[in-house]
Amino acid sequence: MATEFETSVRDWVAQNLPAPLAGARIDMYGVVSGDPAVKDAFDLWRRRLAAQGWGAPTWPVEYGGAGLTDAQAKVVSRAIAKAGSMNPIPYLSGMGVTMVGPTLLEYGTPEQKTRHLPGMASGEVRWCLGLSEPNAGSDLASLTTSAELDDEGWVLNGQKTWTSGADKSQWCGVLVRTDRSAAKRDGISFLMLEMKQPGIVTRPISLIAGESPFCETFFTNARARKDDLLGKLNDGWSVVKRLLQHERQSQTTAPATTNKVEPLQDIAKRYLGSNADGTLADADLRSRLADHLMDTAAHELTIARIMTDARGGNLEVTATASILKNSATDSTQGRSELLLEIMGNQGVGWETGEYTEEEVRTAREWLGGKAMSIYGGSYEVQKNIIAKNILGLPETTQKG
């Protein structure tokens, strides 16, 4: 029996979801394609969700959220999905709602929260992150992009790479070196700066999947205000560790490209048929599919553990966060591999015609999903972290 809150959410969604959005697709930037009327409806839906505070439903009301509990936020998400749509705001905000915003809530000043959080929660302001560099990927502490303080603010110089959505973002959270004489992790700070300025140039990076959010970003005397420092000076490593915990929590599935995800077992039956008792006809695939579904369920339970840690105000990067990145990669890539196998020749199409839109999307998402093993900390580096910090195995990576 539905609770009063569940009923109110379901009724609100039914009354406010524009009809043209049923089944409408969005890309990785939260942009809807096709009929202009659908685009207009999509923006109306965004504005209505923002007015409810449902763009970031667990954030405080004064910062654009709705002050909901995690359980209530799940009710909202389920109601929207059941109605055949999705919440576009986390996509439209780039790294805002999922990463920068939660970190800002913990480390930001009241003025910084008031200035930045409402724009993220409404989906009106997109954020990117300048972390990795050509010579500072998994070893992020080797970064050389610098920031120096003068009378007017911070002056940034250097280069970042793999900055997702940098060409479409209004703001960027950047990890910079502010003390060259300090130890690698001790002389780093986290700055927030506007992207639209002469000192910043972005260059998109093409990928084999046909579309890419990644960019190279160059800073040449780029400017940030003095009060755009997040956290303490030269303590950016603490800030980015917490931010990366939020990133790993957000990397639970591949980016959504459809409003409803058909269960993998149903797709398998549609392509391969089923027995008289309703079970999948291919017994070997049925067994491997069951293994995948169990692994995915275990991954979702791991997410729940991280949410419990965060709810308790734990600012440390926990063991569960280290595990989550790799379990998300295994789950997402495993699903893509099974889906490609299920579709057979129909799963390797590149353009519609002989292939459906779903089949073309499957091939592209399979290719794009390979990047999960690298971004946000490579699969191998995460295994080293798990081995040393969780299992207590001896350090071997720094020995010849």
pLDDT digits (tens, 9 = 90+) for 96-149: 999 999 999 999 999 999 999 999 999 999 999 999 999 887 778 889 999 999
Q: What is residue 255's predicted lDDT score, i.e. its pLDDT?
A: 38
Q: Looking at 247, 300, 341, 351, which residue is catalytic?
A: 247
Which top CATH class is 4-92?
mainly alpha
Question: Per residue in 132-142, pLDDT tens?
Answer: 999 887 778 88
The pTM of this model reads 0.78
247 noted as active-site residue: yes
Domain 127-235 is classified in which CATH homologous superfamily?
Butyryl-CoA Dehydrogenase, subunit A, domain 2 (2.40.110.10)
| DSSP 8-state class, residue 351 | S
Per the DSSP assignment, residues forming a β-bridge with 171 are: 127, 194
| Domain edges within the chain | 4-92, 127-235, 251-390
Q: Which fold has domain 251-390?
A: Butyryl-CoA Dehydrogenase, subunit A; domain 3 (1.20.140)
Question: Per residue in 198-211, pLDDT tens?
Answer: 999 999 988 887 77
Give the position of tokens 């990076």. Answer: 205
231: confidence class by pLDDT, cuts 50, 70, 90: very high
Q: Which residues lie below 8 Å from residue 162, measured CB to CB, with a gap of 6+?
A: 131, 132, 137, 205, 214, 215, 375
Of the chain, the percentage scoring pLDDT greater than 70 comes to 87
Question: Per residue in 5-58, pLDDT tens?
Answer: 999 999 999 999 998 877 666 665 556 666 777 888 889 999 999 999 999 999
- Whole-number Cα distances in Å, 337 to 14, 57, 211, 219: 36, 34, 20, 39
